[in-house]
Structure 1
């Protein structure tokens, strides 16, 4: 199994947690992408300071202002990425931006459901639609017909919390709106795999594991077992191995199938 080798990648929600970890690892590869695009809401804000520090050291890192729920922001991001890439397309779109609101079933609200769905499910839909021309261009410019992440791929960051069969960590946190949004994201991934296969684009839902991030929080006794680095290293290894047979599947950070 070789190392993931891509010309260009865009990671959303890249200013912290798993998104920032992905950016760091892409930049640290022996053969890094020519362009790493890091999307975040406020590139000049305090929460993007680490991203800014990385950009000052890596000329191949381009920070993109991006609010995944705003069509105008998405359109501007596509124009900026397309301008930077020129004649080449975008190889890898990682829809990582996401939110979780820890409401239990009895207290779930209309506002929470709409807000969470808009970011976690509709955001990846809109991003993938908008970047489709650049993904198609990358696929057309890659030799051979076999699907792979090096050719063109959409990776939707899901969660086994969205697995209807597993209902991962129900007693840790019901987070109903988050679970429902990720189950819907899984169906979106399956639909994308069917709709975009003819364009040479691989589509997959990926569970990063239960990772120590600002989102998971928790006390010492309920701390997530995985570090960001462990999760990201595992996921990049999985992405490097994906092929035709994997499009439309739901895998975890170790490459194991997660039940729908």
Structure 2
């Protein structure tokens, strides 16, 4: 199994947690991408300080302002990335940005459901649409017809919490809006895999594990570094047979 080899990647929610972990690991590769786009809502704010520090040391890191709930922000981000990449296109789009509302079933509100769905499900849909032309360019510029993450791919970061069959740790957290949004994200990934296959774009959804982040909270089982390193190793091995699947960080098929 070789290392993931890509010219360009964009990561959403890149200022902390898993998103920041992806950016750090891409920059540490023996052959890092020519361009790493790190997207977050407030690139100049205090919560993006680590990204700013990385950008000062890595000229191939470009911080992009992006609010995944705002269509105009998404379009502006796509235009900015296209300006940088030109005709080469974008190899890898990692939809990582997400929010979690720790409410009970009886406490869920319309406002919560809309906010969580907009971020966790509609955001990846709109990003896939906005970056499709760049993903298509990357696919067309790659040799061979087989699907791979080195060619062109959309990776949606989901959660076992979205598994309808498993309903993971229900007793610990109802988090209904989060669960529903991730179940919907899994279906979106399947739809994207069917709709974008003809363009040479692989689409997959990943459960990163119960990761030690602000969102992961107490009981988290693996570090960000462990999760991200494993996911990058997995991405390097994905092929045509994997498009549209729901896998965990180690490549195990997850129950839908």
Normalised to the residue count of structure 1, the TM-score between the two structures is: 0.98
Matched, 1:254 2:250: yes
Supply the distance in 1 between the matched residues of 2:5 and 2:83 (Cα, whole angstroms). Answer: 22
Q: Specify the alignment match of 2:231 in structure 1.
A: 235
Supply the distance in 2 between the matched residues of 1:104 and 1:234 (Cα, whole angstroms). Answer: 32
Q: CA deviation at 1:236?
A: 0.4
3-state SS of the aligned residue for 1:87? helix
3-state SS of the aligned residue for 1:241? coil
Matched, 1:181 2:177: no
Q: Specify the alignment match of 1:78 in structure 2.
A: 78
Gap regions ≥5 residues in structure 1: none
Matched, 1:7 2:7: yes
Q: CA deviation at 1:171?
A: 1.6
Supply the distance in 2 between the matched residues of 1:238 and 1:170 (Cα, whole angstroms). Answer: 28
Q: CA deviation at 1:194?
A: 0.2
Matched, 1:116 2:116: yes
Q: CA deviation at 1:66?
A: 0.2
* RMSD, aligned CA: 0.5
Deviations 1:46-100 (A, max 9, x none): 0000000000000000000000010111111011100100120000000000000
Supply the distance in 1 between the matched residues of 2:220 and 2:126 (Cα, whole angstroms). Answer: 31
Gap regions ≥5 residues in structure 2: none
Q: CA deviation at 1:22?
A: 0.3
TM alignment of 1:1-260, pairs within 5 A: 1-218=1-218, 223-260=219-256
Normalised to the residue count of structure 2, the TM-score between the two structures is: 0.99
Supply the distance in 2 between the matched residues of 1:234 and 1:255 (Cα, whole angstroms). Answer: 9
Supply the distance in 2 between the matched residues of 1:106 and 1:180 (Cα, whole angstroms). Answer: 15
In the TM superposition, structure 1's runs of 4+ consecutive aligned residues that sit over 4 Å from their partners are none
